[in-house]
A and B are shown apart, each in its own frame.
Chain A
Amino acid sequence: GQQLNQSPQSMFIQEGEDVSMNCTSSSIFNTWLWYKQDPGEGPVLLIALYKAGELTSNGRLTAQFGITRKDSFLNISASIPSDVGIYFCAGQRVRDNNDMRFGAGTRLTVKP
């Protein structure tokens, strides 16, 4: 079953608005990652975080690795229609041991 609690489950926003989603766990994770899945496609990596407290940006996306190692958030600024999709957090308890667990996903809808 799921070990990562991701919220919100879905978001409906207007184009131009900022978006925030987060992921928590009762376990410590040493790697946090954020993926995006477009309809009919597999997930694609957006941002990877490897150190507690790390804040990383990728264009309009910003993600942070929580200090406690039990949470992470993803922000999207100035949303555009192509941001529509499902965003997944993922984590590894041991880096590179390939046991990747995914959150349930946040389904984002952007109204033009």
Chain B
Amino acid sequence: DAGVIQSPRHEVTEMGQEVTLRCKPISGHNSLFWYRQTMMRGLELLIYFNNNVPIDDSGMPEDRFSAKMPNASFSTLKIQPSEPRDSAVYFCASSPTGAGGELFFGEGSRLTVL
């Protein structure tokens, strides 16, 4: 079975450019999460969706970040405009209802903003 699929795996961009990260959750999973991982701050929850509806976006750093989930099989995390401090690995994870906390992570998208 396919796991959580993220793209791109690596992106290098210049400050001010728009960045879009994509995620396809595991089929049948009702919840989707976006995390950011840095050496300084570890794994931070940015936003999560239940049944395509954003539930908690309090972790989104600022208005430059936005996330959408137009359907059960696709989500995007957009940064516009990007800044060097946004450089990090961004993980998408999905979970079925009642999973008791087990998240299935993608391989991550490593973003470098120059």
Give, as a whole number of angstroms, the nearest-CB distance from A86 to chain B.
9
- A48-B102, A90-B101, A104-B42 as given contacts; A98 in contact with B95, CB under 8 Å: yes
Q: Mark B1-34, 1 if CB is under 8 A from A, else 0.
A: 0001000000000000000000000000001010
Which interface residue of A33, A45, A103 has the most chain B CB atoms within 10 A?
A45
Give, as a whole number of angstroms, the nearest-CB distance from A54 to chain B.
12
B70 cross-chain contacts in A, Cβ below 8 A: none
A2 cross-chain contacts in B, Cβ below 8 A: 41-42
Give, as a whole number of angstroms, the nearest-CB distance from A44 to chain B.
7
Give, as a whole number of angstroms, the nearest-CB distance from A97 to chain B.
9
Q: Mark B96-114, 1 if CB is under 8 A from A, else 0.
A: 0111111101111000000
Determine if B100 and A100 form an interchain contact, defined as CB atoms under 8 angstroms apart: no
Cβ of A65 within 8 Å of any chain B Cβ, yes or no, is: no
Q: How large is the interface on B (under 10, 10 to 19, 20 to 34, 35 or more residues)?
A: 20 to 34
Cβ of A95 within 8 Å of any chain B Cβ, yes or no, is: yes
Determine if B45 and A92 form an interchain contact, defined as CB atoms under 8 angstroms apart: no
Determine if A42 and B101 form an interchain contact, defined as CB atoms under 8 angstroms apart: no
A102 to B44 CA separation, bound complex (whole angstroms): 7
- A48-B102, A96-B98, A96-B101 as given contacts; A40 in contact with B107, CB under 8 Å: yes
Chain A to chain B contacts (Cβ below 8 Å), 20 pairs: A2-B41, A2-B42, A33-B101, A33-B102, A41-B107, A42-B4, A42-B93, A42-B106, A43-B43, A43-B91, A45-B102, A48-B102, A96-B98, A96-B99, A98-B31, A98-B33, A102-B42, A102-B45, A103-B42, A105-B43
Q: Which residues of B contact A (CB under 8 A)?
A: 4, 31, 33, 35, 41-43, 45, 48, 50, 55-56, 91, 93, 95, 97-103, 105-108
Instruction: Sort A-B residue pairs by CB-CB distance and give the 3 closest, nearest first.
Output: A42-B105, A102-B43, A104-B42
